[in-house]
Amino acid sequence: MPTYTAPTKDMQFVLHDVLNIAGSDIPGYADLEPDFTSAILEEAGKISAEVLQPLNAVGDTEGCALENGVVRTPQGFKDAFEQVKAGGWPGLDMPEEFGGQNMPYVLNTAVGEMFSAANQAFTMYQGLTHGAASAILAHGSDEQKQTYLPKMVSCDWTGTMNLTEPHCGTDLGLMRTKAEPQDDGSYKLTGQKIFISSGEHDMAENIIHLVLAKIPGGPEGIKGVSLFIVPKFLVKEDGSLGARNGVSCGKIEEKMGIHGNSTCVMNYDGATGYLLGQQHKGMRAMFTMMNEARLAVGMQGLAQAEVAFQNALDYAKDRLQGRDVTGVKNPDGPADPLIVHPDVRRNLMDQKSFTEGARAFTLWGAMLIDQAHRAGDKDADGLISLLTPVIKGFLTDQGYDMTVQAQQVYGGHGYIEEWGMSQFTRDARIAMIYEGANGVQALDLVGRKLAQDGGKHVMAFFDLVKSYIAETKGQDADFDRDFLDPLKAASKDLQAAGMYFMAEGMKNPNNALAGSYDFMHMFGHVCLGYMWARMGKAAREALDGGTGDPEFYATKLATGRYYMARQLPATALHLARIQSGAEPVMALEAANF
């Protein structure tokens, strides 16, 4: 059975050696000294490895069951949920006034990686609640906040997000769910929502559904969508639970993975709902928290890749098969371990260089979010808005591929459910789809974010990379050759793609859109290259300074060199594809496919 060890040492390296969080002037960051973050990460690592991970396979095998309208979660989930609640984890970054601990989001992200790696399906119950609570925090009236947030911050009540309907996922303007105004100021909601994660389950006293719906007579399409709070049990004035509301789970879906999370068809039959935020501004309210939500999904890609990698690595060290062609490594055994073989190493190094780069990328992204929210920095907000589709799309695509590679290390055993590697790929697959399918992320990046504020944020990104190279260059010739030169080349490829979009997209927008997916991946590689250059520099300085564990830093440098030599050159291929333009992509009539 698979195991999980929280990568706390690597997280500490990123938070302190690379991002120097305690030295940042973002409000709340001064407290984040290494000893403090270490204590929190170790504690989160412990509950992840000891409580959540052992339930991962249970959740997969047992799944959820709908019986008489009630969803039964897998055995052990409820106990584990109580332990997570008792530890105060759901409220880590929530305001103290509602029972939270008001920690920065960057810490929440590190903890989230561990929880997701240990048990993605389980962690979603808490993750959706966090998203719903954040929306209420941002858009709710004082009364709504007082009514719902204390219970949601503690996860006594959980939350959901209801967007999709059978005939509309991405194109929410087609939505049919109706919200009819009542005399008392409430609404009656009627319609069906699908793919509602954690929509119904047995781990919370109440479930607070956030539901998008149209108020009759409002504007057509997406501009007529409003957001509503629809509790499973209505809440009385004294805060106690009242009548069951007209919302029910009609079905739970049989899915490829994340079996431990109940994915529900939710039926609203004149359910009582309360407007959250303004009428017809539902999309805006739902998407206020989009950067965090999408970063969290990108992090799931990293998380599944990490746990899959850890197990593939263990297997590659243990399994004896064949001999090293350059000389026997295990003369006392019948064969050498798999890890001696160059192609197995290639596979493992792909995984290792991805997960460590992705970890730095998500933590840097989370720090930008803190800078935007806690310090009110509009430039940081613009930059993270630009990077959000890259984090979501690139990390979930690559994270999935890495789980497939990890599975491959196991040979035939990778295909057998008992060994657990299949679950990592099946669970990781969803992250490429939900919270905006990755093609939609690419469209958001190229169609919206690139040109936002006159292209200011993408220029800022290029400046960041450029000045980093300029500041760092000339101190160490090997480092320049291995890290900075490849980064410069990749960044130039990305700029060339941007220029192509500007020049050719003017003539025909499809010239930009046909290259959007490649652009997203290319951008992701440049970001990971930038992260690796920063990590490499930190590792080199630590080695030069003689601080810390020299093997750790030397390994970090070697892993970075691998990424630079073998992954970053992908930017040239993406550029070539982009520059071939829309014609090859759009040449066929639909009927001739």
What are the structure tokens assigned to 357, written together?
A: 């780069």
- Cβ proximity to a copy of itself: between 29 and 434 the closer is 434
**DSSP E strands, 519-587:** none
Q: Does 443 bind a copy of itself (CB under 8 A)?
A: yes
Task: Write out the binding residues for a copy of itself, residues 386-405 only, by CB under 8 A.
Answer: 400, 404
Count other Cβ atoms within 10 Å, centred on residue 459.
13
Please identify, among the stretches 35-43, 76-84, 102-110, 341-349, the one whose residues bind a copy of itself according to the rule CB under 8 A.
341-349
Beta carbons within 8 Å of 319's beta carbon, 6+ residues apart = 337, 338
Q: Does 192 bind a copy of itself (CB under 8 A)?
A: no
Task: Write out the binding residues for a copy of itself, residues 303-332 only, by CB under 8 A.
Answer: 313, 317, 320-322, 325-326
Q: Does 566 bind a copy of itself (CB under 8 A)?
A: yes
Which residue, chain included where needed, has tokens 């499973």?
Answer: 232
Q: Does 412 bind a copy of itself (CB under 8 A)?
A: yes
CB 92 → a copy of itself: shortest distance, Å?
A: 29
Q: Does 133 bind a copy of itself (CB under 8 A)?
A: no
CB 190 → a copy of itself: shortest distance, Å?
A: 19
Q: Does 178 bind a copy of itself (CB under 8 A)?
A: no
Q: Does 184 bind a copy of itself (CB under 8 A)?
A: no
Kindly state the helix (H) or strand (E) to which residue 265 belongs, with its residue range. strand 263-275
CB 523 → a copy of itself: shortest distance, Å?
A: 15
Q: Which of 160, 311, 422, 472 binds a copy of itself (CB under 8 A)?
A: 422
Q: Which of 418, 435, 504, 583 is catalytic?
A: 435
Query: How are beta strands 157-162 and 206-214 bridged, if at all?
Result: parallel
CA atoms within 13 A on the CB side of 131: 29
Q: Does 341 bind a copy of itself (CB under 8 A)?
A: yes
Secondary structure class of 80 (helix, strand, coil): helix
CB 255 → a copy of itself: shortest distance, Å?
A: 5
Please identify, among the stretches 81-89, 125-133, 537-545, 550-558, the one whose residues bind a copy of itself according to the rule CB under 8 A.
550-558
Task: Provide the residue type at 322 as one letter.
Answer: G
Q: Does 79 bind a copy of itself (CB under 8 A)?
A: no
Of 125, 256, 270, the closest CA to residue 200 belongs to 125
Which residue, chain included where needed, has tokens 């009609």?
Answer: 250
Residue 77 CA to residue 80 CA, distance in Å, equals 5
Whether 272 and 234 have beta carbons less than 8 Å apart is answered as yes
Task: Write out the binding residues for a copy of itself, residues 490-529 only, by CB under 8 A.
Answer: 508-510, 513-514, 516-517
CB 392 → a copy of itself: shortest distance, Å?
A: 14
Task: Write out the binding residues for a copy of itself, residues 351-370 only, by CB under 8 A.
Answer: 352
**DSSP E strands, 108-202:** 157-162, 178-181, 187-197
Count other Cβ atoms within 10 Å, centred on residue 275.
23
Beta carbons within 8 Å of 381's beta carbon, 6+ residues apart = 372
Whether 170 and 217 have beta carbons less than 8 Å apart is answered as no
Of 185, 167, 161, 128, the closest CA to residue 282 belongs to 161
Kindly state the helix (H) or strand (E) to which residue 374 belongs, with its residue range. helix 342-374
Secondary structure class of 234 (helix, strand, coil): strand
Task: Write out the binding residues for a copy of itself, residues 228-257 only, by CB under 8 A.
Answer: 253-257
Which residues lie across from 228 on neighbouring strands?
A: 211, 275
- Cβ proximity to a copy of itself: between 154 and 405 the closer is 405
Q: Which of 349, 368, 494, 527 binds a copy of itself (CB under 8 A)?
A: 349
Q: Does 171 bind a copy of itself (CB under 8 A)?
A: yes
Q: Which of 430, 450, 522, 526 binds a copy of itself (CB under 8 A)?
A: 430
Please identify, among the stretches 149-157, 295-303, 412-420, 521-529, the one whose residues bind a copy of itself according to the rule CB under 8 A.
412-420
Q: Which of 8, 56, 304, 347 binds a copy of itself (CB under 8 A)?
A: 347
Q: Does 593 bind a copy of itself (CB under 8 A)?
A: yes
Q: 42 an active-site residue?
A: no
Of 199, 219, 221, the closest CA to residue 211 belongs to 199
- Cβ proximity to a copy of itself: between 256 and 503 the closer is 256
Where in the sequence numbering do the catalytic residues fall? 435
